[in-house]
Copies of this chain bind each other. A is one copy, B any other.
Amino acid sequence: MPIYQAPTRDTRFVINEMLRLESYAALPGFENASADMVDVLVEECGKFCAEVLAPLNLSGDQEGCTRHADGTVTTPQGFKQAHAQFREAGWGTLSSPEEFGGQGLPHVLGFMAEEFISSANQAWGMYPGLTNGAVSAILAKASPELQAKYLPRMIANEWLGTMNLTEPHCGTDLGLIRTRAVPNADGSYAISGTKIFISAGDHDLTENIIHLVLAKTPDAPDSVKGISLFIVPKVLVNDDGSLGARNAVSCGSLEHKMGIHANATAVMNYDGATGWMVGEENKGLAAMFIMMNAARLGVGIQGLSQAEAAYQNAVSYCADRRQGRALTGPVDPAEKADQLFVHPDIRRMLMDAKAFTEGMRALCLWGALQVDLSHKAASDEERQAADDVISLLTPVIKGYGTDKGFDTCVQMQQCFGGHGYIEEWGMSQFVRDARITQIYEGANGVQAMDLVGRKLAQNGGRAVQAFFAMVDAECAAARSVAGLEGLAGQVEKACGELKAATMWLMQNGMMNPNNAGAGAHHYMHIMGIVSLGLMWLRMGAVATDALAAGTADKAFYEAKLVTARYFGERFTPDAGALRRKLEAGSEAMMALPVEAFARG
């Protein structure tokens, strides 16, 4: 069976040493996030995920969910009990607002928990995970009455939530949705329509499920400007908070998917179900984006999560399995063969994975800190700056993080040779589960367009200029640190490619928007490389300081510096190639008529 152990040492390194969370103690919510407290939370959360959730991952994949004739859905064995333990322990409420029963801790800790949960069991983690998205929309837009009715029990994970956007004929293009919301006399609405691909659409983990549903009121404009957002509970909630009648919403069927078998991906039928509007009429898209942005960061973390879990299993296999001899001569002459670890091509894959997962973990937790600072930093300027950078990087964390996360899972599966293809080893599941992260919450092509078509130009490019300045400063500082000069130069060069690509997009995207579209994917990947480079420079600086101070944990920091060097060598060269592709523009890409793609 696959193994999983939470990477607590690395996580504590990022939170306490790189982000120095303690230094923000003056901000609300941070006062309880001392280094000692962080250590305890990280270790305990890691233990819960490894002991309770991870053992259900492979069995959940094999069993899947079952829909019964009455439309109710049963999750795999053990899922319901694990949810009860999870609620009891409060791992879902770390960074939820205290006002509604949350623990009010920084999002840094919430993201930490999301990573561990998703590594241990992505399909299980999606049940509470989607609730986070739903909660954020209700928090931002719903009336105090709706908030009071739903938030405390959703935040406590007593009720879980869903997000209902997609319909059979419309995914990304939400202007096409057909689900109708007709006003009732009492201020509620009658919701009718069919939604598809609804993760966690029905299940047996909780008594009630709170669906957030995009629909159109009768006179709404026929575009994205005519979408409103509604709360539609599976079971109606009486004014005293007790559960009332079953609402007219049900799961029509479950999809047969490539992965995340243990999460119920449902077709949801709304048949005049009673719903309540969240926020203003026809302003559903804005509310949806709040929900979506939270979810996108969560999906980026899932990319990291699957890569981390796959990496751990590959490391274990490559240490156990003996095959062939080192190119430089037998390492273990007493054995009939050496460990797989001796082979450079195996090392290449493992070092790629190590450099990606550690860099990505730093990026996600640093990103979480920006989310916190965007709300809680002392000055307007600091809040604005934090909001700018996390808005800019959200599509990068989602798109680049899941592209590389999936690739990493594939490479870790490759380390197993033929055994990687056999389901019982669990490597196939990591690949199959990771694959959805590139698709859902906005396919990665949509992320790239969000970055290039929207985020880059906002406020006259303020966010990207600030990002460049941040990277430049880090490179300049690292240039004078012995051992980091090489990486500093490589990241500086990659950032130079990013700046040039930005300039090219500004000049050529105006002239022909297809040029922006044609380069968006490449651009997102360059920015991903530079973002990880920024993190590796910071981790490298911390490691250098720790070693200079005579740390007792020398091996850990030395490994950080070697991995930083490897990152510079093996990740940064792609930035130049990506820029060349981007600068090729859209002409050849768009030149052929559709018929030219047909075979025959």
Q: Interface residues, chain A, CB within 8 Å of chain B?
A: 5-10, 166, 170-173, 175-176, 196-197, 255-259, 308, 312, 315, 319, 322-324, 327-328, 336-337, 339, 341, 343-351, 354, 406, 410, 413-414, 417-418, 420-424, 428, 431-432, 435-436, 438-440, 443-445, 448-449, 453, 512-514, 516-518, 520-521, 555, 558-559, 562-563, 565-566, 569-570, 573-574, 576-578, 580-581, 584, 586, 588-600
Closest partner residue, chain B, to A444 (CB atom): B414
26 contacting pairs across A/B (C-beta < 8 A): A6-B599, A7-B599, A8-B600, A170-B323, A173-B322, A173-B323, A255-B422, A257-B422, A258-B421, A258-B428, A308-B599, A315-B597, A344-B514, A344-B589, A347-B589, A348-B518, A351-B588, A351-B592, A354-B597, A406-B410, A410-B435, A414-B439, A559-B592, A562-B592, A573-B576, A573-B577
Interface contact B594-A339, CB-CB below 8 Å: yes
Question: Could you tell me the distance between the alpha carbons of A420 and B258 in the complex, rounded to whole angstroms?
Answer: 9
Chain B residues within an 8 Å CB radius of A414:
438-439, 443-445
Contact indicator B346/A315 (Cβ below 8 Å)? no
Asked whether B577 lies within 8 Å of A344 as measured between CB atoms, the reply is no
Instruction: Specify which chain B residues have a CB less than 8 angstroms from the CB of A196 in the assembled complex.
Output: 418
Cα distance, A334 to B44, chains bound together (Å): 58
In the assembled complex, which residues on chain B have CB atoms less than 8 Å from the CB atom of A570?
581, 584
5 additional A-B pairs beyond A348-B518, A562-B591, beta carbons within 8 Å, are A173-B322, A258-B421, A258-B431, A345-B518, A562-B588
User: When the two chains form their complex, are residues B599 and A9 in contact, meaning their CB atoms are under 8 A apart?
Assistant: yes
List the B side residues contacting A586 at CB < 8 Å. Answer: 344
Q: Chain B residues near A171: list those with CB within 8 A.
A: 323, 417-418
How many Å from the CB of A40 to the closest CB on chain B? 16
A439 touches B418 (CB 8 A): yes
Residues from chain B with Cβ under 8 Å of A343 in the complex: 445, 517
Contact of A449 among B5, B345, B599 (CB under 8 A): B345
List the B side residues contacting A574 at CB < 8 Å: 574, 577
User: How many chain copies?
Assistant: 2
Q: Do A589 and B351 form a contact, CB below 8 Å, given A172-B417, A414-B439, A428-B258?
A: yes
Residues of B within 8 A of A315 (CB): 597-599
Contact of A431 among B7, B176, B417, B435 (CB under 8 A): B435
Complex A-B, nearest 3 residue pairs according to Cβ-Cβ distance, in ascending order: A344-B517, A569-B584, A345-B445
Q: Are B173 and A448 touching (Cβ within 8 A)?
A: no
A565, B588: Cβ atoms closer than 8 Å: yes
Give the distance in Å from the alpha carbon of A420 to the alpha carbon of B566 in the complex: 35
Minimum Cβ distance to chain B for residue A221 (Å):
13
Complex: chain B residue closest to A449, CB-CB: B345
Q: Which of B255, B520, B566, B588 contacts A569 (CB 8 A)?
A: B588
Question: Smallest Cβ distance from A101 to chain B, in angstroms?
Answer: 33
A344 to B, closest residue via Cβ? B517
Residues of B within 8 A of A7 (CB): 599-600
Cα A435 to Cα B428 in complex, Å, equals: 10
In the bound assembly, the distance between CA atoms of A347 and B591 in angstroms comes to 10
Cβ-closest chain B residue relative to A509 = B327
- Which one, B328, B424, B439, B555, contacts A421 given CB within 8 A? B439
Say whether B423 contacts A258, CB under 8 Å: yes
Asked if A514 contacts B573 (CB within 8 A), the reply is: no
Given the known inter-chain contacts A328-B512, A562-B588, please indicate yes or no for A344 contacting B520, CB distance below 8 A: yes
Checking B255, B258, B344, B518 against A590 with a beta-carbon cut-off of 8 angstroms, the contacting residue is: B344
What distance in Å separates the Cβ of A514 from its nearest Cβ neighbour in chain B?
Answer: 5
Q: How far is the CA of A584 from the CA of B308 in the complex (A)?
A: 25
Question: Out of B5, B448, B576, B599, which one reaches A576, CB within 8 Å?
Answer: B576
Q: Smallest CB-CB separation from A422: which chain B residue? A: B255
B344 contacts A555, C-beta separation under 8 Å: no
The chain B residue sitting closest to A586, CB to CB, is: B344
The residues of B that contact A176 with a CB separation of less than 8 Å are 323, 336-337
Whether A323 contacts B592 in the complex (CB less than 8 A), given A258-B431, A328-B514, A423-B258, comes out as: no
| Complex-state Cα separation, A598 to B318, whole angstroms | 11
Task: State whether B595 touches A555 (Cβ < 8 A).
Answer: yes
CB distance from A282 to the nearest CB of B (A): 18
The answer to whether A324 touches B439 (Cβ under 8 A) is no
A580: nearest chain-B partner, CB-CB: B573
Shortest A414–chain B CB gap in Å is 6
CB proximity of A11 to chain B, nearest CB, Å: 10
A51 CB, nearest partner CB in chain B, Å: 14
Contacts of A435 in B (CB 8 A): 410, 413, 421, 431
The CA of A173 and the CA of B346, in the complex, are separated in Å by: 15
- Smallest Cβ-Cβ distance to A357: which chain B residue: B599
From B197, B418, B439, give the contact of A197 (CB < 8 A): B418
B580 near A566 with CB under 8 A, answer: no
Complex Cα–Cα for A424 and B175 (A):
26
Assess the A589–B348 pair: CB atoms within 8 A.
Answer: yes
Assess whether B600 is in contact with A5, with CB atoms less than 8 Å apart: yes
Indicate if the CB atoms of B172 and A324 lie closer than 8 Å: yes
Q: Are A566 and B594 in contact (CB under 8 A)?
A: no
- Chain B residues whose C-beta falls within 8 Å of the C-beta of A258 in the assembled complex: 421-423, 428, 431-432
| Chain B residues within an 8 Å CB radius of A175 | 337
- Establish whether residues A521 and B595, one from each chain, have CB atoms under 8 Å apart when the complex forms: no
Bound form: Cα–Cα A423–B257 in Å: 5
Whether B600 pairs with A424 at a CB distance below 8 angstroms is no
Residues of chain B contacted by A440 (CB below 8 angstroms) = 418
Query: Complex: how many Å from CA A552 to CA B259?
Result: 48
Which of B436, B449, B562, B589 has a CB less than 8 Å from the CB of A566?
A: B589
Nearest Cβ in chain B — how far from A445, in angstroms?
4
Instruction: Considering the complex, give the chain B residue whose CB is closest to the CB of A589.
Output: B347
